[in-house]
Structures are given as structure tokens and as C-alpha cells.
Amino acid sequence: MSRKEQVLIITPPMFEKDLNGEHFRFLDIICPTCNGAGEVPQHGDFFGLEPADMDICQRCNGAGLLIADVVVRWKPDETV
Ligand SMILES: [Zn+2]
């Protein structure tokens, strides 16, 4: 099964322009907590007999989508 992925290929630049790092934003990522609905069911009706009252999703704040904010900082490898 195929699936669409967002990929960041990490390669050090020849000259470092910004000491705060390289910033990348990945948009339109479906919130896995609410599955893009922007709201989640409240707990309470154990048997699920009543339609669930819904709360706004705290993770995406109701947007249904997330943004991945990635910062890459380059430094010497001192692990070897
Ligand atoms: Zn959400």
C-alpha cells in the first residue's frame, strides 16, 4: 500500500549562514489525536449508548491539522 510522506533530506550547507539553525515547516499534517476532526468525544457514557458530547481537540486546538516545525543545528560530532 502506498502512502504520501513528507521527507527532509539533511545535508550540511557549505557555509553556515544562520547560527540559530535551519528552519523547516511541514504543513497540513492530520492530527492523529482527533483524526482531523478537530474534536474528540468526552468520556462519560461507558456503553456508548448516547451520542457523545464533543470537546475541542487540545492537541490541534480544533484545527484538525498540525505543523511540524523542524530546526536543524550543525555542530561538531564529539561522540567519537
Ligand atoms: Zn486534533
| Residue pLDDT tens, the chain, 80 long | 898 889 999 999 888 777 889 999 999 999 999 999 999 988 766 676 777 789 999 999 999 999 999 999 998 999 98
- The grid coordinates of residue 50 equal 448516547
Write down the residue that cell numbers 545535508 correspond to: 11
- Please give the Cα distance from 80 to 50 (Å, whole number): 60
- Please give the Cα distance from 35 to 52 (Å, whole number): 16
* Threshold 0.75, pTM exceeds: no
pLDDT on residue 45? 64
Beta strand residue intervals within the chain, DSSP E: 22-30, 39-41, 54-56, 65-72
Q: How far is the CA of 72 from the centre of ligand 1 (A)?
A: 26
Point out which residues pair with 24 in neighbouring strands. Answer: 70
Rg (Cα) of the chain, in Å, rounded? 20
Q: How far is the CA of 80 from the centre of ligand 1 (A)?
A: 41
Q: How far is the CA of 40 from the centre of ligand 1 (A)?
A: 8
Q: How far is the CA of 66 from the centre of ligand 1 (A)?
A: 8
Q: How far is the CA of 54 from the centre of ligand 1 (A)?
A: 12
